[in-house]
Structures are given as C-alpha cells and as structure tokens.
Amino acid sequence: MTMRAVILISGRGSNMQALLEAGLPVDFACVISNRPEAAGLAIAARHGVPTVVIDHRQHDGRAAFDAALAEEIDRHAPDLVILAGFMRVLTEDFVRHYANRLVNIHPALLPAFPGLDTHARALAAGVKLHGCTVHFVTPEVDAGPIIAQAAVPVLADDTPETLAARVLRQEHRLFPLAVRWLAEGRVRLREDGGTALLPARDGDVDDALISPTG
C-alpha cells in the first residue's frame, strides 16, 4: 500500500521539493503552509499537489492555530505528517495527536544543537562535524527518536552560510531516504523509545552521507 502524507512548510520548500521529486512510494495529499507568502506553495502546485494556507497570525494563540491545523490535516487522513521547514513550535496536544506519525528534519546532528541558529552555534562550539537529523517529533523540541543522520565536515574558513549550504545538500539526500524507509515499513520504534531499521539494502546509504568534499 502507498503511504499517504501531508507536508507542512513555512518558507522556500526546498526539502519539500526534494521529497516530491524523489519518486517515493508516497501519496502527497496536501502541502500546508502557515505563511501565505511561502515560496514552497508554488513549487507544490507545479508538482500537482493541493495546497492550503492556515495563517497562524489569524488565530488567537498557539492552541487555536494548532487546532485549525489539525482539522485540515485530518481531512486528508495521512499516515505521515512531515515537517519540512515548518517554523512553528507545536503544542503538546498536537504532537500527541500525531504520535509516531510526525517527522521532522533538523539542521544539526541531534542531540547537539537543538533549536535555532544551529550553524552559528556549531561554529562557535568548534565542532569538526556537523549535519542534519530526521527524527520523530515528541513534545520536547528536537528530542524525538532519531531515524537517520548525515554528517559533513566543518571547514576552517566556514561561515554560518557556507556551512548551512553544505548541510542543506545533505538534507535533500537524507530526508527522501528516511521517508522512503518509513513508507516501506522499514523503521520501527523500540520499546526503549529509540528506533530500529531493517537491514540495509544495496544503494540505501553511500559515502555521500558523510561528505568530506561537501
């Protein structure tokens, strides 16, 4: 059976675009943005995916916005809700409603650097490896079970912008891979709260996921 998914975005939608163009066994039922000006809406429309705007500024607080968002998501009955650059902190009730169905990509190697400004913080900390993480979403921000990670080197002359660009290239590889694993039923949550993957197949992962040349 094909997995049915809804994608949430707030901006340019580059990770969403990577998912839509990856040939995944996924029916992308809708793309929802909390910002009507989000460039990703036009990209989704060009790919034939219906789009909806639920402007958080038109709702009285986080709980009211999340309730409206959940009502729209549930109309599509998704198996998976994908946060692809969705720049909102979600309420605990919303997260629990989609427990084990809500996934996010974060631009850092969690548990390092949760939250915002990850690239500047990585440079300030002097780390030698940085990267991105696909994880299940739980009520604690950026703390859910990890599905997959990709790493890149931190170079001596990096700025937050150059490091962000290097990480983003890996996000566009990693996110479709992780969603494919989910769609194929190859990811499960362990009793201890972690994740487990079924054995890798040829071509699943290559050395580009740790990218010495960027």
Residues 65-93: pLDDT tens digits? 999 999 999 999 999 999 999 999 999 99
Q: Across all residues in the chain, what is the average pLDDT?
A: 93
Q: Distance of CA 132 to CAs 21, 116, 205, Å?
A: 20, 13, 15
Give the mean model confidence (pLDDT) for residues 94-120.
Answer: 97
Q: Distance of CA 35 to CAs 11, 32, 46, 56, Å?
A: 7, 9, 18, 7
The two structure tokens encoding residue 138: 């739980």
105-214 adopts what CATH topology? Rossmann fold (3.40.50)
Per-residue pLDDT band at 206 (split at 50, 70, 90)? low
With a cut of 80, say whether residue 197 has pLDDT above it.
no
In the chain, CATH 3.40.50.170 sits at 1-98, 105-214
SS3 label, residue 149: strand
In one-letter notation, the amino acid at residue 80 is: L
Residues 151-168: pLDDT tens digits? 999 999 999 999 999 999
Distance separating alpha carbons of residues 99 and 90, to the nearest angstrom: 12
pTM for the model stands at 0.92
CATH code of the domain occupying 1-98: 3.40.50.170
Catalytic residues: 106
